[in-house]
A and B are shown apart, each in its own frame.
Chain A
Amino acid sequence: DVKVTQSSRYLVKRTGEKVFLECVQDMDHENMFWYRQDPGLGLRLIYFSYDVKMKEKGDIPEGYSVSREKKERFSLILESASTNQTSMYLCASSWSPTTDTQYFGPGTRLTVL
């Protein structure tokens, strides 16, 4: 079974703090994704990566950056957290560009005070 894990289930940070969210997948997937999920807005893509050291902006990249130094690990970084970044953050991975089922982690509920 595909396993996607996220470093924290719940996180509370203060405005202005730098926040790291980590995601690890164990299936050698090429593609990894970061989404945020908010009531009424559904899943919105922040960033994704096709390969190590590669990244592409999604629909809402502002205020976020990402890092993919190893194939299995994709990190989402909030350089200076703000209250409007309070959300559920979901990581996903998929096998290749032509096999597109995305498998999700359990999510990180981030609260920025």
Chain B
Amino acid sequence: GENVGLHLPTLSVQEGDNSIINCAYSNSASDYFIWYKQESGKGPQFIIDIRSNMDKRQGQRVTVLLNKTVKHLSLQIAATQPGDSAVYFCAEFSGYSTLTFGKGTMLLVSP
């Protein structure tokens, strides 16, 4: 939504930098995690997912890292571009077919 970025932590980077967005999840029983990207005025868009039997998964320019010991998830975006500017949030699934979503981080990329 248009105001989804209000009240969110913000990460500001320069074009070409690598970005790291972090997420702490709450349920140690969660076994599936998703990162979403939400641009202004649009619905969330799936980026990448990871299951709890992995600690790293790579996509195109994105990498997700999972640290189950400290219940931490991160999204790394390589060579960040202005089109990457959006709100990013993680979601965790703990086996009851509903996802629990984080509040999100706003990424601002300057040309």
Residues of A with Cβ closer than 8 Å to B? 4, 31, 33, 37, 39-43, 45, 48, 50, 58, 88, 90, 92, 94, 97, 100-107, 109
Contacts and interface: CB of A to CB of B under 8 A. Distances in A.
B43 A105 contact: yes
Given A39-B6, A40-B6, A107-B42, A45 B98 contact: yes
Contact of A104 (B5, B7, B45): B45
A37 to B, nearest CB: 5
Interface residues of B, number: 27
26 contacts: A39-B6, A39-B7, A40-B6, A40-B7, A42-B89, A42-B101, A42-B104, A43-B44, A48-B98, A88-B3, A90-B43, A90-B44, A100-B32, A100-B34, A100-B97, A100-B99, A101-B49, A102-B99, A103-B46, A104-B43, A104-B45, A106-B43, A107-B1, A107-B41, A107-B42, A109-B1
Nearest to A6: B43
Taking each of A41, A50, A102, A103, which has the highest tally of chain B beta carbons within 10 Å of its own beta carbon? A102
B43 to A, nearest CB: 4
